[in-house]
């Protein structure tokens, strides 16, 4: 009986230092992975938002070309448009198409002051 009592008293309770260090390493690694995931997701959302607005600016220019602002061959136009609380710079150029009735056009859109077109 006394041997059983002695064994119960010698059983250690709690964690060793190595177990705590391993647990902290696993926790810190998972926190870093989650932080990078959140950071890259928010960066992608901002890029997607800019891409969507630049596409809408180009769609507006196409609608104006087909209705009000008729193009002529060899002509280039540029201007600014505000959309999504941002100022967008657009540039469009026209070239002769495969037949006399058709014109090819190219529309480039970028944020005002940016170096790269969307």
pLDDT in tens, the chain (118 residues): 555 555 555 666 777 889 999 999 999 999 999 999 999 999 899 889 889 999 999 999 999 988 888 877 778 898 999 988 899 999 998 888 888 778 888 999 999 888 888 8
The string over 2-39, giving b where at least 16 C-beta atoms fall within 10 Å of a residue's C-beta and e elsewhere, is eeeeeeeeeeeeeeeeeeeeeeeeeeeeeeeeeeeeee
Where are the chain's structural domains?
17-111
Q: Which residues contact 76 (CB under 8 A, 6 or more apart)?
A: 91, 92, 93, 94
Under a CB-based contact definition with an 8 Å cutoff, are residues 109 and 90 in contact?
yes
- Classified by CATH at the fold level, domain 17-111 comes out as 3.30.1300
């Amino acid at each position: 009986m006394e041997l059983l009592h002695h064994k119960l008293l010698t059983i250690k309770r709690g964690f060793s230092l190595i177990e705590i260090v391993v647990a902290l390493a696993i926790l810190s690694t998972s926190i870093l992975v989650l932080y990078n995931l959140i950071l890259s997701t928010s960066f992608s959302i901002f890029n997607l938002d800019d891409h969507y607005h630049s596409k809408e600016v180009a769609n507006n220019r196409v609608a104006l070309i087909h209705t009000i602002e008729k193009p002529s061959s060899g002509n280039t136009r540029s201007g600014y448009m505000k959309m999504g609380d941002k100022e967008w710079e657009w540039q469009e150029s026209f070239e002769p198409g495969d037949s006399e009735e058709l014109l090819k056009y190219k529309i480039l859109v970028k944020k005002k002051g940016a170096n790269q077109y969307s």
